[in-house]
Structure 1
């Protein structure tokens, strides 16, 4: 009898210890992972999909390296690093991200150095090796330019709109122009996102129309130039990338009447698109399930540019639509967060980050299903790539930071002295006080 009583007491103590440990872990998790729960959930789901699909799609790398676990371990380490970046950034008040202008200056220097000291991969000078690590300066330029545009938009007051507009257009032209030399699709994506951000930021419509007309005219002129430049000029030198643009444009825009035999023949010109179509056709409605893809061994960039085709092959149309909905949720949820934010800078940060993530995802998906020419844009957070993955995580961090510190919360009458007030509410109060002080200092400087 005593033994049973002793066992019951020990069992109850064990249950209490388990409950206490669970509550402790829950409190720790709530302290570390703050911000919008939907954004966090989408991030976790994308990470899980990324791990599964990268493990499946890197078969060609495994074959070359003779190491089954090497590629997935590398990708896992970058995902862990991405989580660390989110945790770091979303604990930093949004006002500090106005310093992204200095990051932009550094990224411009790196972009200028890339053709000189950069590493050429797949015929493009987009990477720089620093202490054994390869970084892509264009990814750093994307987030820093978007943040700078968001900051300049937030400083419009009716009197300085013209000057700030010139600064924004100047920065966009310089950064996108440098990026376009080796990565035209990234330059177009970045310029489009910044343009949309300016439209959201209440820049005068007449000014935006002038930019749009100029951009359309420049694009038409560029297409004409691609048609008339002799192929021998593009073999080497500064026009080496023009040959790639010409072939992609010709292949996508070709509507010649061809025989069935010619149409179904896979050549060097249609190799990637043809195998992407085969992967999508193999997937059907429910897919072949992860790990059973056959086209991963034929697509050169199955783990990056064309990973969406592999997702459809393995997870079917249902899986493809599910992934598409995840990026749509990011866009919608970020819009809901932005509506609750009173300050302009965090509002534009959220919208700019969401536009960058969703538009890049839509472009990658459109390439995989042959709606637009091949661009080389990775699928955010899913495609393999260290710099891209870490910068994508930073976008999530910016959204969560703005959600934490940008949305005003209800407070008790005693304010910071209220004992029931949460730490997050105190952080928000301190952030708002500092914002007011900064605005006062900026006003005094302008007056002087």
Structure 2
């Protein structure tokens, strides 16, 4: 074990923040899992805690393995992974999946082990690596929109388009983060403005269809419409539509300044997503405003360290890679918190490293491992260095 700790590379502050968030997650997960045991009659609190611990342990093994990979290797890996994630996303749309008796077409089951896998989480990480590779390649070149359609916008359109039918919020978040990364990567502003304007027009048309004829849209369109209506006009929302939102607000109100104490939440027993989407409400109820702001501080600290790492890297690709895979972690955390305090419509986004979940934890750990890889200067290959011709992946990465 000591040898394992000695081999930890990269930014020690990020290692510490991630470890603290993971350790803290056991408290709210154990507390909120009583909802699964006594209300939904699934397993035991210890069983859910052990499952969460196993997922986190495997997640940290992913971080350890990935952070040992030289950063420039991810260029070649993105070329291999992109076709795979497109196939997985397409396959996900064709499979009828039920988890706990509820339709969950955003997931597929991993063969032999039966663990649900949300393919969009992997696709979003791979897409960001793909974009970082492309933007670093054209950094000093004059590029036209036509030239970037096939290598950049076609993969973006395919990934976002395949995620959209089953997971509107994730598709929207990925689309926004793609634009942010392209802006930071120096993609021509005139094209970004045009794409953003077109996106806003399409979003307006989509909302018009959603509210006028939702039956022509995917099955989840009714859920999207209900969530938007509840957010805009909560006073007119039906009891079923507003129930979880109201419970979350009650949990926040009950928390006060210092909270009721660990394990003493009442709302966890009636808040259906208390272990995942609304776990932040349980945290505030039990640890108060102080606990909620403390958690927010650690995510802001993680964002700060991600920016520091990006700024200290030697290559354009590494800078864009760190921002591309690191920013979504913190962005997702902010959205989860904003939903709980009613600053954002319900999205179904878990709280990274805190929420009880499945492979979403692993994909977060994958992204963290990539950031840590870039933060280790010894593993970063500066532009122009010699490439090992006996390593096909290194040759492919160096050429791209």
TM-score normalized with structure 1 length: 0.81
What's the offset of the Cα at 1:227? Answer: 1.6
Alignment deviations for residues 301-349 of structure 1 (CA, whole Å, 9 cap, x no partner)? 0011101111111111111111111111111111111111120111111
Structure 2 distance, partners of 1:164, 1:277, is 45
Asked whether 1:57 is paired with 2:32, we answer yes
Residues 168-183 of structure 1: pairs in structure 2 closer than 5 A: 168-183=152-167
Structure 1 distance, partners of 2:47, 2:255, is 27
Structure 2 distance, partners of 1:378, 1:56, is 17
Match of 1:249 among 228, 233, 238: 228
Structure (1 or 2) with the larger CA radius of gyration: 1
Are the equivalent residues in 2 in contact too, given 1:182–1:241 (CA < 8 A)?
Answer: yes
Alignment deviations for residues 343-383 of structure 1 (CA, whole Å, 9 cap, x no partner)? 01111111112211011111111111111111101111111
* Aligned match of 1:339: 311
Match of 1:229 among 206, 213, 221: 213
Structure 1 distance, partners of 2:259, 2:4, is 35
Asked whether 1:77 is paired with 2:77, we answer no
Are the equivalent residues in 1 in contact too, given 2:252–2:284 (CA < 8 A)?
Answer: yes
Alignment deviations for residues 143-188 of structure 1 (CA, whole Å, 9 cap, x no partner)? 1111111111111141556423552222111111110101000001
Flag the 1:62–1:442 CA change in 2: closer, same or farther, 3 A: closer
* Aligned match of 2:148: 164
Residues 365-376 of structure 1: pairs in structure 2 closer than 5 A: 365-376=337-348
Flag the 1:228–1:403 CA change in 2: closer, same or farther, 3 A: same
What's the offset of the Cα at 1:94? Answer: 0.8
* Aligned match of 2:177: 193
Instruction: In structure 2, list runs of 5 or more residues that go unmatched.
Output: none
Flag the 1:432–1:46 CA change in 2: closer, same or farther, 3 A: farther
* Higher RCO structure (Cα 8 Å, ≥6 apart): 2
Asked whether 1:46 is paired with 2:24, we answer no
Are the equivalent residues in 1 in contact too, given 2:96–2:103 (CA < 8 A)?
Answer: no
Are the equivalent residues in 1 in contact too, given 2:275–2:355 (CA < 8 A)?
Answer: yes
Are the equivalent residues in 2 in contact too, given 1:334–1:351 (CA < 8 A)?
Answer: yes
Structure 1 distance, partners of 2:134, 2:72, is 13
Match of 1:142 among 109, 124, 127: 124
Residues 432-447 of structure 1: pairs in structure 2 closer than 5 A: 433-434=385-386
Are the equivalent residues in 2 in contact too, given 1:124–1:241 (CA < 8 A)?
Answer: no
> Is the partner of 2:106 in helix, strand or coil?
strand
What's the offset of the Cα at 1:62? Answer: 2.2
Asked whether 1:299 is paired with 2:271, we answer yes
Structure 2 distance, partners of 1:343, 1:325, is 29
What's the offset of the Cα at 1:219? Answer: 1.1
Flag the 1:402–1:445 CA change in 2: closer, same or farther, 3 A: closer
> Is the partner of 2:108 in helix, strand or coil?
strand
Structure 2 distance, partners of 1:443, 1:247, is 46
* Aligned match of 1:154: 136
Asked whether 1:117 is paired with 2:118, we answer no
Flag the 1:445–1:112 CA change in 2: closer, same or farther, 3 A: closer
Are the equivalent residues in 2 in contact too, given 1:272–1:300 (CA < 8 A)?
Answer: yes
Structure 1 distance, partners of 2:222, 2:90, is 22
What's the offset of the Cα at 1:29? Answer: 5.0
Flag the 1:161–1:152 CA change in 2: closer, same or farther, 3 A: farther
Are the equivalent residues in 2 in contact too, given 1:101–1:145 (CA < 8 A)?
Answer: no
* Aligned match of 1:396: 368
Instruction: In structure 1, list runs of 5 or more residues that go unmatched.
Output: 1-23, 408-424
Runs of at least 4 residues off by over 4 Å: 159-162, 427-432, 434-438, 440-446
* Aligned match of 1:318: 290
TM-score normalized with structure 2 length: 0.90
> Is the partner of 2:45 in helix, strand or coil?
coil
Asked whether 1:34 is paired with 2:9, we answer yes
What's the offset of the Cα at 1:428? Answer: 5.7
What's the offset of the Cα at 1:441? Answer: 7.0
Structure 1 distance, partners of 2:256, 2:398, is 64
